[in-house]
Structures are given as C-alpha cells and as structure tokens.
C-alpha cells in the first residue's frame, strides 16, 4: 500500500482525512428526490468510502437535516438518527457529532454579523467555528458559504477558507498527486 508523502500542498493528507458534513449533504444522501442526491451518493461511494474519510457533523446540522426531512418515511429518519446519534460498530459510515456549546455560539455570532450580506445561517457559522477548532479544512456541502467564509490562521495570520466538496473535489485532489487510500 502506497503511503502519502507529507506535503504542504495537500490539506486532506495533513488533516487526517476529516470532512465536515453539512445538512445539505445529509439531506441529499437520504432524500432520493433531492436535486443533489446522485452527486452525493457518488461522492460517498467514490471518495468517502474509498479514502476512509472521518466524518464530522454537529448537533445543529443534525437538527437542521432532521427538520428538513420530515416528509420522508419514519424508517429513513430513524436511519439518519441512528447513524448520527447512536452508530453501530458494524456501520460502514461513521460520524462524530460535535456539540455546539454556548462558547461556540458566542464565537459564531460575530461571524454571522460580519457576513450578514451573504445570508449565512447561525448553523453555518457554528460549523465554521468548529471546523477551525478541529482543523477541518473541507466540508461535504452544496452550500457556497463554506467557500465564501475566510478566517485568520497560523503564525502569519494568513487568510484561509474551506473547501466545499464534492464540487471542488477535482481541484482539491490535484493539489497533491500523492494522495493515497491508506
């Protein structure tokens, strides 16, 4: 099995294959009538499973997705609930749920007001805060907000943004040809 070379260019290799899953991606995965369903399933099969990506989400994202999927049969909603809140060790798809606390909301509110012209939701802003805190550079999202938001990072305080996948997948992976399935 090939090993990935350490590189300054590939955020995914450096970040231990972590990806924040936004509510739009969860909705697309679980709702066959969603406009992004086929793209989401293809991304899941060809990227997330292939590269053993660690998936993160938040309690706010979970709540948002469950609320927007109430038109689905209860069995589908229970599948999503179990997947996020009570996964089985046998599940091939595993999520770690991060919790939006008072401290996270306190950090998110200024972001909300700073980017108010872009119509960010508080859920988006809490995701940005948690992504920064957990060094997650990419989101499985169909929401352009993840590409608009920038933050100060590192000793040089360079402005950084997040990758929104699957749309950005080709560019993202082309940063480092040494990406492996290790």
**pLDDT 10s digits, 12-42:** 444 467 899 999 999 999 999 999 999 999 8
**Token pair recorded at residue 165:** 């996948």
**pLDDT 10s digits, 136-162:** 888 898 888 888 887 655 445 555 566
Instruction: Indicate whether this model's pTM tops 0.85.
Output: no
Collapsing DSSP to helix, strand or coil, 75 comes out as: helix
Check residue 142 and give its pLDDT: 87
List CB contacts of 78: < 8 A, sequence separation 6 or more: none
* Residue 94 per-residue DSSP state: -
Is the confidence at residue 122, as pLDDT, over 70? yes
Check residue 13 and give its pLDDT: 43
Architecture per CATH, 15-174 = 3-Layer(aba) Sandwich (3.40)
């Amino acid at each position: 099995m090939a090993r990935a070379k350490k590189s300054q260019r590939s955020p995914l290799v450096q970040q231990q294959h972590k990806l924040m899953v936004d509510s739009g991606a969860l909705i697309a995965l679980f709702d066959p009538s969603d406009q992004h369903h086929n793209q989401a399933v293809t991304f899941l099969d060809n990227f997330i499973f292939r590269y053993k990506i660690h998936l993160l989400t938040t309690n706010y994202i979970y709540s948002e997705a469950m609320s927007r999927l109430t038109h689905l049969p209860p069995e589908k909603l229970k599948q999503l609930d179990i997947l996020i809140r009570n996964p089985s060790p046998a599940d091939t798809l595993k999520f770690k749920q991060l919790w939006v606390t008072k401290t996270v909301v306190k950090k998110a509110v200024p972001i909300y007001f700073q980017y108010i012209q872009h119509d960010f939701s508080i859920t988006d802003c809490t995701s940005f805060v948690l992504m920064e805190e957990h060094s997650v550079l990419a989101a499985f999202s169909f929401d352009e907000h993840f590409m608009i938001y920038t933050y100060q990072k590192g000793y040089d305080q360079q402005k950084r943004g997040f990758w929104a996948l699957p749309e950005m997948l080709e560019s993202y992976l082309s940063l480092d040809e040494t990406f492996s399935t290790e």
